[in-house]
């Protein structure tokens, strides 16, 4: 393990979901816990269990503020985990919930979050079947941290594997990106903009299910672009498959509010977190079928084709504009949006 | 005469420098024949070798004559001579090139068409009358067509063209101008010209293609013309509709386009030309020269060529194809590099159709491959002393670099990766230095690919195996990343050089100051570079002494918000500077309410970079005086402030006629200790703007203040030698003002062969590395 490369201590950037996080996982965690399921670094682990394939995932949620337009930490904690299952092609079955609460948190807020958890799980059609609660000293816990662990059953018809990806495959996104990340920035008052924007936190399984029902094999890979945004998940993919990924700059779906906020701070929307979208690699021939189907599902109306996989340049994500040159889209570097989950 | 003098002896001469592809061997052949000497002359990868037999006295005379009378486009940088056993030849001949051995011959830049060839081109009885690829040993493409060294036809993109009988005869005839001319060809055997529409359909060939191409330009069409270093987009400079379309589709709203003329007379009608300007325009390198536009109402050149500028970028047609085409158009044309905004110049037909089909109407192309893409070089002359400054060094200059009095160990090979904004590579190989052409900004992916291609090309051309690789300290630079991973791959150690120190090393190297006892003050001002303390540097004063650089002073750090966005919006630099002074409200109306509150919040939370850049001070001034708050091209704000100040200074004719007393108060607004403070000057500046001082005077005061700061620092350290580098010194007015104040008392050094901008970073990195490895020395001291 190379300490020099990691730095002397844990920095906030190690949790940004970008380059530093990637390095921390690859150089510190993976070598120590070596096994093939872990090393695939997918959103959920898939376990073969007699006839069925189980998907298991866990995620911790730290967000400030706890409540924001369109959601709160409780809702995020449920949707975040069930979405990691959904993009692994698994229907959520059960959730374990672990709460770390800071002493002094108003009971009102605690109850509000429990209700948010209950609402979100019933909406996602999944039950919280166990859990744990710890209280830490005042000043040591940012109000509340939540860890959820979710179990799902992989739909037998779907076959997700980066190994199936070939040059010519197409990339789609389920709707406008960056809503969550910018909502949080606004809620924190970091951008002084009047914007009617909400977090996009929502369960993705209905959308995924609709694709599986029409042409399950057409979908080869899926991720939910949370921390680090679309740029980071696609960079991870391009490095893994050693192919190029080209995004068509003009077709990336963005709300005006998100565009404006990014403009003010000079941010790339491709680096901004989503909590209710997926990015998928699909077969070219079935692209329009899939999009047509997705757009029929409530919440899938905004699904669009945003790019494609090419043989070259290997390991690089490019954004091209119609009459401009191409720019390299890197993983999120540093930590311009600290502690967004 | 004693017996020894009558005895025949044999000498071997070895000449190095710009000695290949310049008619050196034919020249030697002719002299040897004239003097009735025997032996041979040959090109080798390490230069020209001459084996010659004769009487000692004649050989001496021959050697001396060769060194003093060689062709004007050649340059001998080293010569040696030794005696060899007599072989007893009975003739003098030109031997085939030997490819073995080390390749330390200099790569020759591309040359414009020579006078003799122009005459033949225009002479109806000549067999090359109107042949758009006429060349001889004294002219034509070199660097742009070479695959491998030495420069012989079979190693260039002339290889597919087999010489016809007539051409072959010239090639073999020692009395002919084209004797051993590697680019020799004619209408019979040579390169073919085609005109296509943007759907690739062939419209016409040869002479017809030129005629039809010219007609298209006159009709208001945009024609892509394949030239020496790449395609140029050529259009009628007087046709507003065409220019509007070109600007719109090239995504280039304000950046000036260059103009191409056929003759100096027609240039004189549009711009002010003195002797220095004319000499630069007609030089064999035929650069684009930025010249003052004539104030007249009936200008042929549409304002859209250079919106808002007092200047025009002008060049003379330099290749026979351009000459023939422009003679048919009969008026000056816009000639701008054919590329997608930010990407490298295109050199292949398919790329034109694929990427520029929407803006190009016709393509005038030929079937000789361009091996090394290059843009046209750009120079400007300072307004008063007429000192040339490179803004872009490329075609006809690159990759040649003269080390002057310096010499480098021959067995050490080094590679320097340069910076990102103005990509440029420097290599040191066999004791020579090559500085690549301008390679563009690496934030664009195609440019990065082209940069890597150029790197590979050098590896192949020189069979390069560098001992070390020098890179910029900036962790996010692509050039750094590419250099480091190359080093990892090939197990070559890498070496970091801080950006501004590299600028300093470059100007020291170019002026033979590496061995200077010093001390030398380096004034290194530019846009942005990554500093050793993690701050953004760019307003630095260094001391060079005994091979070491120390930072003496810098502009006091001011807040710079938002990184790259700040560089595109001058108002953001201004906000940081005035906020620190508590005067940000002066800028309030430049920002929307959300922008304003967001940025103030960031400033109050100290979420900004610390910055000492002088380039950003120009931005700040540009925004404060109300010129631009958003730049549409790099350097726009600095160019604007310089333009206004130059207008003011020029209105007095000469610098000594300026009302200097009027600006004496600025001397009281200097504060250089412990660091250079902005407050006192900018306090006054705000007041002056409120009092409605004219923009031109405000901009001039800013320039004067910068000069006074330099003078004050120089005096406080009692230093006599000053070296200038960094993009800010592309500003001719600032350079002239400094010269005006320093003349007679201080020695001022600046770049001559390279640009002061980041194009010189790779040379500086290489110099730093060479100094570290102790392989640099002055020639006298050896
Ligand atoms: Fe620089
Ligand atoms: Mg997750
Ligand atoms: Zn010639
Ligand atoms: Zn011929």
For A274-333, the pLDDT digits (tens) are 999 999 999 999 999 999 999 999 989 999 999 999 998 999 999 998 777 889 998 887
Distance from CA of B531 to the nearest CA of A (A): 18
What are the chain B neighbours of A265 within 8 Å (beta carbons)?
A: 562, 565, 598
Chain B residues touching residue A264 (CB < 8 angstroms): 594-595, 598
Assess B443–A contact: CB distance below 8 Å, yes or no. yes
Omega of the bond prior to B674 within 30 degrees of 0, cis? Answer: yes
Run of H or E residues at B47: strand B47-55
Question: Between residues A333 and B677, which one has the greater pLDDT?
Answer: B677
CA distances B547 to A211, B409, B518, Å, are 68, 17, 9
Instruction: Please tell me the CATH superfamily of domain A162-328, with its number.
Output: PurM-like C-terminal domain (3.90.650.10)
**Model confidence at B18, in pLDDT bands (50, 70, 90)?**
confident
Residue B455's pLDDT is 96
Residues near B277 by beta carbon (within 8 Å), at least 6 away in sequence: B271, B289, B291, B381, B386
pLDDT tens by residue, B367-396:
999 999 999 999 999 999 999 999 999 999
Backbone angles phi, psi at B159, to 5 degrees: -55, -45
Chain A touched by B476 (CB under 8 Å): yes
Q: Give the pLDDT confidence of B487-532 residue by residue, as tens digits.
A: 999 999 999 999 999 999 999 999 989 888 879 999 999 998 999 9
What b-and-e string marks burial along B470-498, b requiring 16 or more CB atoms within 10 Å of the CB? bbbbbeebbbbbbbbebbeeeebebbbbb
Answer whether B603 touches A (CB < 8 Å). Answer: no
How many C-beta atoms surround the C-beta of residue A304 within 10 A?
17
In tens, the pLDDT along B354-373 reads 889 989 999 999 999 999 99
For residue B612, the CA-to-ligand 1 centroid distance in Å is 12
| Nearest C-alpha neighbor of B223 from the set B133, B328, B131, B320 | B328
Q: Residue range B3-28: average pLDDT?
A: 82
Task: Please indicate whether residue B483 or residue B671 has the higher confidence score (pLDDT).
Answer: B483
B445 contact A CB<8A: yes
pLDDT over threshold 50, residue A341: no
Chain A residues whose CB is inside 8 A of the B444 CB are: 325-327
B421-430, pLDDT tens digit by residue? 899 999 999 8
Query: For the segment A82-93, what is each residue's pLDDT rounded down to a tens digit?
Result: 999 999 999 999
Rounded mean pLDDT of B339-343?
A: 85
Q: Band the pLDDT of A10: cuts 50, 70, 90.
A: confident
Of chain A, the percentage scoring pLDDT greater than 70 comes to: 94
Cβ atoms < 10 Å from Cβ of B733: 26
Please tell me the predicted confidence (pLDDT) of residue B563: 75
Residue B101 and residue B734: Cα distance in Å, rounded? 48
Q: What number is the average pLDDT over the span A26-48?
A: 73
Answer for the pair A273, A226: CB distance below 8 angstroms, yes or no.
yes
Specify the domain boundaries for CATH 3.90.650.10 within chain A. 162-328
Give pLDDT tens digits for B118-132. 999 999 999 999 999
- pLDDT tens-digit profile of B609-620? 999 999 999 999
| Residue B68 distance to chain A (closest CA, Å) | 50
Q: Quick one: CA torsion of B635, B555, B598, B477, rounded to 10 degrees?
A: 60
Round the average pLDDT of chain B to a whole number and report it. Answer: 92
Touching check for B563 and chain A: CB below 8 Å? Answer: yes
A311 or A32, higher pLDDT: A311
Look over chain A and give the mean of its residue pLDDT values, rounded to a whole number.
87
pLDDT at A28 exceeding the cut of 80: no
B729 Cα to the center of ligand 1, angstroms: 10
Q: What percentage of chain A carries pLDDT values higher than 90?
A: 57
3-state secondary structure B277-307: HHHHHHCCCCCEEEEEECCCCCCCCCHHHCC
What backbone torsions phi and psi does residue B529 show, to the nearest 5 degrees? -150, 155
- Residues of A with Cβ-Cβ distance to B351 under 8 angstroms: none
CA–CA gap between residue B299 and residue B735 (Å, rounded): 30
Mean pLDDT of B734-746: 94
**Alpha carbon of B138 to ligand 4 centroid (Å):** 18
Q: What is the DSSP string of B480-533?
A: HHHHHHHHHHHT--EEEE-HHHHHHHHHHHHTT-TT----EEEEEEEEEEE-TT
pLDDT, position B266: 93
Q: Residue B43 catalytic?
A: yes
Catalytic residue among B43, B198, B239, B760: B43
Q: Do A193 and B564 touch (CB under 8 A)?
A: no
**Is B444 within 8 Å of A327 when comparing Cβ atoms?**
yes
**Residue-wise pLDDT tens digits, A156-214:** 888 899 999 999 999 999 999 999 999 999 998 888 888 889 999 999 999 999 999 88
- Chain A and chain B share a number of CB contacts under 8 A equal to 58
Active site residue B25: yes
Residue B150: per-residue pLDDT: 79
B chain contacts of residue A191, beta-carbon cutoff 8 Å: 594, 598
Cross-chain Cβ contact A266/B594 below 8 Å: no
Task: Provide CATH 3.30.1330.10 ranges for chain A.
Answer: 44-154
What is the residue-wise DSSP string for B599-667? HHHHHHTT-SEEE--HHHHHHHHHHHTTS-SS-SSTTHHHHHHHHHHHHHHHTTSSGGGS-GGGGGGGG
pLDDT of residue A26: 79
Architecture in CATH for domain A44-154: 2-Layer Sandwich (3.30)
Q: Are B341 and A190 in contact (CB < 8 Å)?
A: no
For residue A298, with 0-12 CB atoms within 10 Å meaning exposed, 13-18 middle and 19 or more buried, which class applies? exposed
Question: What mean pLDDT do residues B201-225 have?
Answer: 96
B684 vs B562, higher pLDDT: B684
Q: Report how far apart, in Å, the C-alpha atoms of B209 and of each of A41, A108, A243, B197, B214 are.
A: 59, 83, 42, 11, 8
**Is B598's CB within 8 Å of A266's CB?**
no
pLDDT of residue A338: 30
The count of other CB atoms within 10 Å of the CB of residue B755 is 24
CB contact under 8 A, B446 and A325: yes
| Maximum average pLDDT range among A302-316, B81-95, B246-260 | A302-316
Region B481-490: mean pLDDT is 95
Catalogue all structural domains in chain B, each as residue range(s) with its CATH number. 3-94 (3.30.70.100), 107-191 (3.90.870.30), 193-376 (3.90.870.10), 386-505+762-778 (3.30.420.360), 558-717 (1.10.357.160)
CA-nearest residue to B442 within chain A is A327
Element (H, E) at A210: helix A205-214
Do the Cβ atoms of B444 and A323 come within 8 Å?
Answer: no
Query: How far, in Å, CA of B436 to CA of B375, rounded?
Result: 12
How far is Cα of residue B104 from the mean position of the Cα atoms in its chain? 23
Return d(Cα B140, Cα B320) in angstroms, integer.
9
Interchain CB distance below 8 Å, B445 and A327? yes
Which residue of chain B comes nearest to A195, CA vs CA? B594
Residue B311's pLDDT band, with cuts at 50, 70 and 90, is very high
How many angstroms separate the first and last alpha carbons of chain A? Answer: 27
Beta strands in chain A (DSSP E): 45-49, 52-61, 67-68, 71-72, 90-102, 127-136, 144-154, 170-173, 219-223, 244-248, 279-282, 304-310, 317-320, 326-328
Helix (H) or strand (E) holding A105: none
Name residue A248's beta-bridge partners.
A320
Alpha-carbon Rg of chain A, whole angstroms? 19
User: What percent of chain B is modeled with pLDDT above 70?
Assistant: 97
Whole-number pLDDT of residue A236: 93
Instruction: Look at A247-256, A326-335, B38-47, B470-479 and tell me which has the smallest mean pLDDT.
Output: A326-335
Set of chain A residues whose Cβ sits within 8 Å of the Cβ of B564: 266
């Amino acid at each position: 393990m190379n300490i020099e490369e990691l730095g002397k201590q844990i920095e906030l950037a190690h949790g940004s979901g970008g380059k530093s996080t990637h390095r921390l996982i690859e150089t510190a965690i993976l070598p120590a816990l070596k096994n093939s399921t872990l090393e695939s670094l997918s959103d959920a682990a898939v376990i073969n269990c007699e006839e069925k394939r189980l998907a298991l995932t866990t995620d911790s949620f730290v967000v400030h503020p706890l409540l924001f337009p369109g959601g709160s930490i409780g809702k995020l904690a449920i949707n975040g985990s069930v979405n990691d299952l959904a993009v692994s092609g698994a229907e959520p079955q059960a959730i374990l919930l672990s709460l770390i609460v800071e002493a002094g948190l108003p009971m009102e807020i605690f109850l509000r979050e429990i209700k948010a958890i209950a609402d979100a799980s019933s909406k996602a059609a999944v039950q919280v079947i166990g859990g744990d609660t710890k209280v830490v000293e005042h000043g040591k816990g940012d109000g509340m941290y939540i860890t959820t662990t979710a179990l799902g059953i992989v739909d037998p018809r779907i076959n997700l594997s980066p190994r199936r990806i070939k040059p010519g495959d197409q990339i789609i996104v389920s709707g406008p990106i960056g809503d969550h990340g910018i909502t949080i920035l606004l809620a924190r008052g970091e951008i002084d903009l009047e914007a009617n924007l909400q977090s996009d936190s929502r369960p993705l399984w209905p959308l995924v299910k609709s694709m599986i029902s029409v042409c399950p094999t057409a979908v080869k890979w899926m991720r939910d672009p949370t921390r680090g945004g679309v740029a980071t998940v696609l960079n991870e993919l391009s490095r893994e498959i050693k192919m190029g990924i080209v995004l068509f700059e003009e077709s990336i779906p963005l709300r005006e509010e998100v565009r404006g906020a990014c403009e003010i701070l000079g941010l790339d929307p491709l680096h901004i977190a989503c909590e209710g979208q997926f990015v998928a690699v699909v077969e070219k021939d079935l692209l329009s079928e899939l999009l047509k189907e997705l757009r029929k599902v409530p919440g899938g109306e905004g699904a669009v084709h945003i790019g494609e996989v090419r043989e070259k340049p290997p390991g690089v994500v490019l954004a091209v504009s119609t009459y401009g040159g191409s720019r390299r889209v890197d993983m999120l570097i540093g930590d311009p949006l600290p502690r967004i989950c | 005469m004693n017996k020894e003098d009558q005895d025949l002896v044999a000498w071997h001469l070895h000449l190095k420098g710009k000695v290949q592809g310049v008619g050196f061997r034919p020249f030697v052949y002719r002299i040897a024949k004239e003097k009735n000497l025997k032996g041979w002359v040959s090109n080798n990868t390490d230069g020209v070798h001459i084996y010659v037999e004769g009487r000692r006295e004649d050989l001496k005379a021959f050697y001396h004559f060769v060194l003093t009378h060689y062709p004007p486009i050649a340059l001998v940088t080293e010569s040696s001579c030794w005696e060899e056993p007599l072989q007893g030849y009975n003739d003098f001949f030109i031997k085939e090139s030997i490819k073995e051995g080390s390749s330390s011959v200099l790569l020759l830049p591309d040359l414009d068409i020579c006078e003799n060839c122009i005459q033949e081109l225009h002479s109806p009885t000549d067999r090359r009358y109107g042949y758009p690829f006429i060349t001889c040993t004294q002219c034509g493409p070199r660097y742009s067509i070479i695959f491998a060294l030495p420069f012989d036809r079979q190693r260039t993109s002339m290889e597919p063209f087999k010489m016809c009988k007539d051409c072959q005869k010239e090639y073999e005839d020692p009395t002919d101008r084209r004797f051993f001319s590697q680019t020799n060809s004619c209408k019979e055997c040579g390169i073919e010209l085609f005109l296509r529409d943007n759907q690739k359909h062939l419209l016409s060939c040869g002479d017809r293609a030129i005629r039809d191409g010219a007609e298209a330009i006159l009709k208001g069409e945009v024609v892509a013309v394949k030239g020496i270093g790449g395609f140029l987009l050529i259009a009628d400079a007087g046709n507003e509709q065409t220019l509007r379309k070109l600007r719109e589709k090239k995504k280039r709203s304000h950046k000036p386009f260059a103009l191409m003329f056929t003759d100096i007379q027609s240039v004189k009608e549009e711009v002010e030309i003195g002797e220095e300007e004319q000499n630069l325009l007609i030089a064999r390198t035929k650069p684009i020269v930025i010249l003052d536009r004539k104030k007249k109402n009936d200008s042929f050149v549409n304002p859209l060529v250079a919106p808002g500028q007092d200047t025009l970028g002008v060049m003379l047609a330099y290749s026979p194809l351009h000459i023939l085409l422009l003679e048919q158009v009969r008026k000056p044309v816009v000639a701008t590099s054919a590329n997608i905004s930010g990407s490298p110049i295109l050199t292949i037909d398919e790329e034109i159709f694929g990427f520029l089909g929407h803006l190009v109407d016709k393509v005038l192309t030929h079937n000789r491959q361009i091996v090394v893409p290059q843009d046209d070089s750009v120079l400007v002359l300072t307004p008063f002393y007429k000192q040339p400054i490179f803004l872009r060094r490329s075609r006809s200059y690159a990759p040649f670099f003269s080390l002057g009095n310096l010499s480098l160990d021959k067995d050490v090979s080094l590679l320097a990766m340069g910076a990102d904004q103005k990509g440029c590579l420097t290599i040191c190989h066999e004791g020579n230095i090559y500085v690549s052409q301008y390679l563009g900004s690496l934030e664009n992916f195609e440019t990065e690919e082209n940069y890597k291609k150029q790197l590979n090309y050098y590896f192949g051309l020189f069979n390069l195996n560098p001992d070390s690789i020098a890179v910029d300290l900036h962790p996010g630079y692509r050039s750094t990343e590419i250099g480091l991973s190359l080093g990892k791959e090939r197990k070559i150690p890498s070496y970091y050089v801080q950006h501004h120190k590299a600028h300093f090393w470059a100007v020291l190297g170019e002026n033979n100051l590496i061995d200077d006892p010093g001390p030398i003050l380096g004034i290194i001002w530019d846009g942005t570079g990554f500093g050793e303390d993690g701050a953004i540097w760019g307003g630095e004063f260094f001391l060079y002494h005994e091979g070491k650089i120390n930072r003496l002073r810098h502009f006091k750090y001011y807040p710079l918000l938002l990184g790259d966005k700040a560089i595109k919006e001058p108002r953001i630099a201004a906000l940081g500077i005035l906020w620190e002074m508590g005067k940000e409200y002066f800028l309030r109306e430049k920002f929307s309410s959300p922008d304003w509150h967001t940025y103030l919040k960031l400033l109050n939370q100290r979420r900004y970079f610390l910055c000492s850049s002088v380039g950003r001070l120009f931005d700040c001034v540009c925004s404060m005086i109300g010129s631009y708050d958003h730049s549409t091209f790099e350097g726009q704000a600095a160019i604007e402030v310089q333009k206004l100040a130059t207008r003011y200074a020029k209105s007095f004719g000469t610098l000594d006629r300026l009302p200097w007393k009027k600006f004496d108060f600025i001397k009281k607004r200097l504060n250089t200790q412990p660091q250079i403070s902005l407050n006192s000057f900018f306090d006054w500046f705000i007041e002056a703007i409120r009092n409605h001082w004219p923009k031109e005077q405000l901009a001039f005061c800013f320039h004067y203040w910068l000069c006074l700061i330099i003078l004050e620092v120089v005096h406080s350290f009692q230093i006599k030698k000053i070296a200038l580098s960094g993009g800010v010194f592309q500003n001719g007015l600032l350079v002239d003002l400094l010269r005006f104040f320093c003349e007679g008392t201080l020695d001022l050094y600046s770049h001559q062969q390279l640009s002061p901008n980041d194009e010189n970073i790779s040379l500086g990195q290489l110099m730093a590395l060479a100094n570290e490895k102790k392989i640099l020395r002055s020639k006298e001291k050896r």
